[in-house]
Amino acid sequence: MYNVKVESSFSSAHNLRHYKGKCEELHGHNWRVELTATHDKLDKAGMALDFKYLKMKLNGVLEKLDHKYLNSIPYFRKVNPTSENIAKYIYDRVKKSGIIRIKSVTVWENTTSSATYEE
């Protein structure tokens, strides 16, 4: 089994509902996102998956989050925009976009804190 990872980023603002603390107030992050995909075998070129293709799929989803107030996106009107839920949101949308077998999506809200979603 081969795992292939790509990273990208986006900037956005949010506030957490039902949270007692600073993060209940409007604030922003420069999010870093890591997508891990998996494949059983290599192609003729010796690659499991093309990094360029994976980044294109990931960036297609992140484009809809970049420079947005996440709470105003329909999905996050009902689901609290925590790092955990953002990771699942990205995972689900990349998965819907094509033939990629996604292993996990990790969302970093800063250099020391991240959340990962995998099925």
Q: Please indicate whether residue 67 is annotated as part of the active site.
A: yes
The boundaries of the domain holding residue 106 are 2-117
Q: Which of 7, 23, 24, 27 is catalytic?
A: 23
Q: Which of 24, 63, 67, 118 is catalytic?
A: 67
pLDDT per residue as tens, the chain (119 positions): 999 999 999 999 999 999 988 989 999 999 999 999 999 999 999 999 999 999 999 999 999 999 999 999 999 999 999 999 999 999 999 999 877 899 999 999 999 999 999 98
Q: Please indicate whether residue 109 is annotated as part of the active site.
A: yes
Q: What is the DSSP string of 55-101?
A: HHHHHHHHTTTTTEEGGGSHHHHHS---HHHHHHHHHHHHHHTSS--
Query: What CATH number is given to the structural domain containing 104?
Result: 3.30.479.10
pLDDT at position 97 is 84
The count of structural domains within the chain is: 1
